[in-house]
Structure 1
Amino acid sequence: MGRDSVLTDEQWARIEPLLPSSAGHPGRPFRDDRRVVEGIIYRYRCGIAWRDVPAGFGPWQTLWKRHRRYSGDGTWDRILAALLGEAEKVGLIDWALSVDSTIVRAHQHAANLPRAPGERAGGAGPAAEPADHALGCSRGGLTTKIHALTDGAGRPLVVLAGAGQGGDAPAFPVLMSALHVHPPGPARPRTRPERVRGDKAYSSTAIRTHLRSRHITAVIPEPADRQANRRRRGRNGGRPPAFDRQDYRERNVIERFFGLLKQWRALATRFDKLALTYRGGTILRAITIWLKALGDTP
């Protein structure tokens, strides 16, 4: 396989039927889908400008327009959903989930669009470009925050993007509401994990109540200030929340996912002006992770 051949024949066979062109498309026929998709992957993996993508993938304008279209019309999300459904069918998903976020520094080329404060943390989903373009000022400067839910093996189930200064706790219900894994066939989509592992940023009363109401085990440590406040109130402070310290050690899988995500240089640093296309790149990375996982399944 050459340096620019980024998908195997088996991987391409899985996603080709899920692309819009496979079902027919009015107007001019699409340019070779495989080379275009591989060109998009190549650009995000190498972190180069669209104009610098090798000509063998086709005109750079075609690559960008196709990625912009697939990010906006939900094509990347539908492909990921189909792969997740296939993984659930063969029992590949570990439903002991981990939740966290990571900060990504925005390049100056990504920061020259007018911005207004966003309406809600967790932002850009399919066909939704937030008013702030998922850019905000944090300690690292102008940044974007990637929020994710991963399965017990550190493979992504939900990935969202928000402004860098946004909190983790407000994004949690958005992540949970986006969790729908629909296996092929008449079965209902699965939306409820067995447990959720999160760090102290997710130790809010609202999150614990939400998980308890859905019979989901919360593996979340209690912050020191909450412990002190509960002890200060004595008997009225109530009992401490249950916490499985041994199980919490497995939360490191989401940190490994973020490390894997940022191996693609255009995801480790944000060059995209639109949150829509940047998040599309993260979904494309999730697709490649699940393609590899499904390919390793006997």
Structure 2
Amino acid sequence: MSRAQELSDIQWERIAPLMPQVKGRSRPFRDHRQVVEGIVYRYRCGVAWRDVPESFGPWQTIWKRHDRFSSDGTWDKIHAALMAEADAAGQIDWAVSIDSTINRAHQHATILPRARGAAENHKNPRLEPADHAIGRSRGGLSTKIHHAVDGRGRPLAVLVGPGQGGDAPMCLPVLAAIRVPRLGPGRPRTRPAAVLADKAYSSRAIRAELRRRGVVSVIPEPGDQQGHRKRRGSAGGRPATYDAATYKGRNVVERAFCLLSRYDKHAVNYRGAVVLAAILSWLRTQ
């Protein structure tokens, strides 16, 4: 492939039928492939929209198309279709790992007014949160990407939040966002076989919810929780157990993160870029 082509012909043939088409007398879309190649190029190189090479078309068209696909669910639809194909072929490893990573927010992404401490809307990640998923952590203004990936490191669900947000409060919303459709009849699959996570996700609420859903918990217990439980004696309950051999597979989530510096003002567009990166991950491994 040349530098003006980010997707192979085979990869494009898989997602081309899923691209929206204009019906009626509306103005037709500019060539989808050219524009999508431009969007991928922009995020791969981390350039401003205005600096995307003219070979991909007008930068305004590239930005508007990404903005539209991020908010109308096109990227999510393509992501879901690829997961459905993999699940039908038995290619998804349902030992799901969950984790987060912090990415710095560029100054161009932080110029919008924000309602600090605003409640995040996880039920519909395509709605713009009042804080634009930007917060202040040790590294400055930043955004957190929360991922749930299958046993091969391919994203099943993606949410974004402010950089100072904790990991444990986002665990259940991320798991709730897992929905892998069936190619035939039947409800989407939403329940992993096991959930692998580090000590930051160790809490009674999370373990109780996983037990309720019949999901195996592979989460180690931190030392402070162990000491607190022992001090309470029999009232502290039984120690948390987990399969140490299975836990070794959690490293796939570390390799799954695409470190996308945030230049986008709106969280919806930034999440769209992360979902697009997830689409590319599925295309490369199927």
Give the TM bin, normalised by the shorter chain.
over 0.9
Shift of 1:25: 6.2
Shift of 1:183: 2.2
Q: Which residue of 2 aligns with 1:129?
A: 128
Q: Which residue of 1 aligns with 2:184?
A: 185
Are residue 281 (structure 1) and residue 273 (structure 2) matched?
yes
With normalisation by structure 2, the TM-score equals: 0.97
Q: Which residue of 2 aligns with 1:200?
A: 199
Matched-pair contact (CA < 8 Å) for 1:180–1:190 = yes
Q: Which residue of 1 aligns with 2:6?
A: 6
**Mapping for residues 195-274 of structure 1, pairs under 5 Å:** 195-258=194-257, 261-262=258-259, 267=260, 269-274=261-266
- CA deviation string 1:58-101 (max 9, x = no partner): 00000000000000001100110011001101111100000000
Q: Quick one: structure 1 residues 26 and 169, their matched pair in 2 at CA, closer, same or farther if it must change by over 3 Å? A: farther
For 2:188 and 2:205, the matched residues in 1 are separated by: 25
Shift of 1:232: 1.2
Q: Which residue of 1 aligns with 2:29?
A: 30
For 1:141 and 1:122, the matched residues in 2 are separated by: 23
Q: Which runs of 5+ in 1 are unaligned?
A: none
Shift of 1:172: 1.3
Matched-pair contact (CA < 8 Å) for 1:122–1:174 = no
**Mapping for residues 109-128 of structure 1, pairs under 5 Å:** 109-117=108-116, 119-121=118-120, 123=122, 125-128=124-127
**Mapping for residues 54-93 of structure 1, pairs under 5 Å:** 54-93=53-92
Q: Quick one: structure 1 residues 13 and 178, their matched pair in 2 at CA, closer, same or farther if it must change by over 3 Å? A: same
Shift of 1:211: 0.1
Q: Which residue of 2 aligns with 1:49?
A: 48
Q: Which residue of 2 aligns with 1:103?
A: 102
Are residue 172 (structure 1) and residue 201 (structure 2) matched?
no
For 1:24 and 1:11, the matched residues in 2 are separated by: 25
Whichever residue aligns with residue 7 of structure 2, its letter is L
- CA deviation string 1:172-231 (max 9, x = no partner): 121121111012111221111110001111111110000000110000011111100111
For 1:113 and 1:125, the matched residues in 2 are separated by: 21
- Report the 3-state secondary structure (helix = DSSP H, G, I; strand = E; otherwise coil) of the residue aligned with 2:238: coil
Bigger mean CA offset, 120-129 vs 75-84:
120-129
Matched-pair contact (CA < 8 Å) for 2:121–2:127 = no
Q: Quick one: structure 1 residues 33 and 177, their matched pair in 2 at CA, closer, same or farther if it must change by over 3 Å? A: same
Shift of 1:121: 4.7
Matched-pair contact (CA < 8 Å) for 1:203–1:221 = yes
Shift of 1:19: 0.9
Bigger mean CA offset, 174-183 vs 89-98:
174-183
Matched-pair contact (CA < 8 Å) for 1:121–1:170 = no
Matched-pair contact (CA < 8 Å) for 1:73–1:126 = no
Are residue 290 (structure 1) and residue 278 (structure 2) matched?
no
Bigger mean CA offset, 175-184 vs 205-214:
175-184
- Report the 3-state secondary structure (helix = DSSP H, G, I; strand = E; otherwise coil) of the residue aligned with 2:148: strand
With normalisation by structure 1, the TM-score equals: 0.93
- Report the 3-state secondary structure (helix = DSSP H, G, I; strand = E; otherwise coil) of the residue aligned with 1:281: helix
Runs of 4+ with >2 A deviation = 23-26, 117-127
Matched-pair contact (CA < 8 Å) for 1:74–1:127 = yes
Matched-pair contact (CA < 8 Å) for 1:152–1:253 = yes
Q: Quick one: structure 1 residues 38 and 77, their matched pair in 2 at CA, closer, same or farther if it must change by over 3 Å? A: same
For 2:191 and 2:25, the matched residues in 1 are separated by: 39
Q: Which runs of 5+ in 2 are unaligned?
A: none
Matched-pair contact (CA < 8 Å) for 1:122–1:162 = no
For 2:54 and 2:106, the matched residues in 1 are separated by: 25
What CA RMSD, in Å, does the superposition of the two structures yield over aligned residues? 1.4
- Report the 3-state secondary structure (helix = DSSP H, G, I; strand = E; otherwise coil) of the residue aligned with 2:83: helix
Shift of 1:126: 4.5
- Report the 3-state secondary structure (helix = DSSP H, G, I; strand = E; otherwise coil) of the residue aligned with 1:20: coil
What fraction of aligned residue pairs are identical, expressed as a percent? 59
Give the number of equivalent residue pairs. Answer: 286
- Report the 3-state secondary structure (helix = DSSP H, G, I; strand = E; otherwise coil) of the residue aligned with 2:161: strand
Q: Quick one: structure 1 residues 254 and 199, their matched pair in 2 at CA, closer, same or farther if it must change by over 3 Å? A: same
Whichever residue aligns with residue 141 of structure 2, its letter is L
Bigger mean CA offset, 70-79 vs 3-12:
3-12
